[in-house]
C-alpha cells in the first residue's frame, strides 16, 4: 500500500471532529459513499459523500506526527477490515438448479460421445455415438 493511495485529513464535525484517512483502494460498491478511517472511533466507517466531503480538510505538513500516529492506527484496523465490495456473492441464478452429476464433464462433447456398453456375455463394446446422422 503506497502513501499515494492514502489521503490524510481532518473531519470538522463539532464535538466529533477527528483526524481521518481515506484509502482510495477501498471501495464501498456504491458511488455515493466512501470508507473513511475515523481515528477517534478507531474504525473504518462508511460515510455519505455529499454529507462528509464538505467537512473534510487536508492535514498540513506541520501535522507529520499526527500523520504517523494516524497511519499506524489505520494499518492495525485495516488488517482486519473487509470492504463490502470485495465480498464475492456466489448466488445461483433464479431457477437454476444443477447438481454435480448434471453438470457436463470436461471431456464430454455435444457433438460426439464415446459410449461403452456391456453385452450379455460381459464383452465390452466401444461405440462412437454422434448427433450427426452421417
- The strand pairing partners of 34, in sequence order, are 47
- The strand pairing partners of 48, in sequence order, are 33
Instruction: Note the pLDDT tens digit of each residue in 75-91.
Output: 999 999 988 765 545 55
Instruction: Note the pLDDT tens digit of each residue in 43-56.
Output: 999 999 999 999 99
Model confidence at 132, pLDDT cuts 50, 70, 90, reads low
- The strand pairing partners of 22, in sequence order, are 7
The pLDDT of residue 20 is above 90: yes
In sequence order, the 6+-apart residues with CB closer than 8 A to the CB of 44 are 26, 35, 36, 37, 38, 74, 77, 78, 81
Estimate to the nearest angstrom the gap between the alpha carbon of 23 and the chain centroid: 15
The pLDDT of residue 34 is above 60: yes
Q: How far apart are CA 91 and CA 30, in angstroms?
A: 20
> What was the pLDDT predicted at 102?
57
Amino acid at each position: 500500500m503506497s502513501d499515494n493511495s492514502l489521503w490524510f485529513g481532518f473531519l470538522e464535525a463539532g464535538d466529533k471532529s477527528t483526524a481521518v484517512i481515506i484509502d482510495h483502494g477501498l471501495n464501498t460498491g456504491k458511488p455515493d459513499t466512501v470508507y473513511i478511517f475515523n481515528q477517534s472511533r478507531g474504525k473504518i466507517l462508511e460515510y455519505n459523500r455529499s454529507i462528509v466531503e464538505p467537512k473534510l480538510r487536508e492535514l498540513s505538513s506541520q501535522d507529520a506526527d499526527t500523520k504517523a500516529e494516524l497511519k499506524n492506527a489505520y494499518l492495525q484496523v485495516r488488517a482486519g477490515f473487509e470492504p463490502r465490495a470485495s465480498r464475492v456473492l456466489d448466488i445461483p441464478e433464479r431457477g437454476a438448479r444443477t447438481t454435480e452429476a448434471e453438470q457436463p464433464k470436461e471431456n464430454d462433447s455435444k457433438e460426439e460421445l464415446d459410449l461403452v456398453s456391456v453385452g450379455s456375455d460381459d464383452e465390452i463394446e466401444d461405440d462412437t455415438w454422434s448427433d450427426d446422422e452421417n
